[in-house]
Amino acid sequence: MGNMRTFVLMAMLTALVMAMGGLVGGRGGAVIALVFAGAGNLFAWWNSDKMVLRQQGAHLVTRQQAPELVDMVAELAQRAGLPMPAVYVLETEQPNAFATGRDPQNAAVAVTQGIMRILSRDELAGVIAHELAHIRHRDTLTMTVTATMAGAIAMLGNMLMFSSIFGGREDNRGGGLAGLLAMIFAPMAAGLVQMAVSRTREYEADRSGAEICGQPLALAGALAKISRAADQVVNIPAERNPASASMFIVNPLHALRMDRLFATHPPVQDRIARLQAMAGRTASAPAAPSRMPRTGQRGPWSGA
């Protein structure tokens, strides 16, 4: 159901790209806009992982530097049936995490220093499993495509504005009012569709992540802790690059009031409720034995 919803939303974005291109340049403009969006997606497919990791100030860690963290990622990746992703740490005290990469063979999981300080081993395993679920579902590619298309629509809206100011096309069948409305509402609609895709993907990643780690309540507890703490700590790299907000497990941006319609993530309480319901359904099933590495007296992340 989630995959079908994502397909429909991405089809809506494609239609918006072509409609905006058509308003700017007629039938040829629609084709050019679609080609342009495709070229942007191709560029982002190859470079988005490097770009976002660089923007967030992430640094690669090895097993020698953070043995228990890397071992945990390796164990969970094996459970998920995935190749071992690269592991990065972000030097921010805001607890958060994200995954990136164009496919499972070229993926990375990034966690902040803050998240390693406040979560237990089981809770962090739930977060990492959530991010691995994004990789398994190829959500990083999906979000890259939707972001590129939304950006193309915003650019075409600007082009339409300048076209209307400096004369525009004489054969514009939509008329001046239609063009004005499209200029205003099409980029807004594209942003809403992009956010809807993100919210859908988060629910799916919560469900699959809970299955991978085998502990829905651990992931629910992690979401509660991360949400409370993230509201109190500013993530400066994320604030400088707000387009990356949808990649994080919890919205890293600060706002005085975030309307649910414009949120990049589902409400945390809704996500927790779903995980709690999932735990209730699986309570009668025997728990899988945990092979997570044991922590030492200095804490599990002392080497990171």
Q: List, for residues 215-258, the tens digit of each pLDDT value.
A: 999 999 999 999 999 888 999 988 887 767 888 999 898 754 44
Q: Sign of torsion, CA 219 221 223 225?
A: negative
Q: What is the identity of the amino acid at 278?
A: M
| Count of Cβ atoms closer than 10 Å to residue 171 Cβ | 6
Read off the pLDDT of residues 34-58 as tens digits, 9 standing for 90 and up.
787 777 767 767 777 888 888 889 9
**Residue from 131, 170, 204, 239 carrying the catalytic annotation:** 131
200: its two tokens? 């859908």
91 is catalytic: no
Residue 283 CA, distance from chain mean position = 30
Q: What is the mean pLDDT of the chain?
A: 79
Of 65-79, 130-144, 174-188, highest mean pLDDT? 65-79
CA 93/CA 109 separation, integer angstroms: 17
List pLDDT tens digits, range 103-129.
899 999 999 999 999 999 999 999 999
In this structure, the number of other CB atoms found within 10 A of the CB of residue 298 comes to: 8
- Residue 75 to residues 26, 44, 293: CA-CA distances in angstroms? 53, 29, 9
Sheet holding 97-101, edge to edge: 58-60, 86-90, 107-112, 97-101
The reported pLDDT for the residue numbered 136 is: 94
> Which residues, at least 6 apart from 90, have a Cβ–Cβ distance to it below 8 Å?
56, 57, 58, 96, 110, 111, 112, 113, 237
Whole-model pTM? 0.74
**Nearest one of 213, 26, 38, 249 to 126, comparing CA atoms:** 213
Instruction: Note the pLDDT tens digit of each residue in 269-301.
Output: 999 999 999 998 765 444 444 444 443 333 444
Any binding-site annotation on 130?
yes
pLDDT at 68: 94
Sign of CA dihedral 103, 108, 109, 110: negative
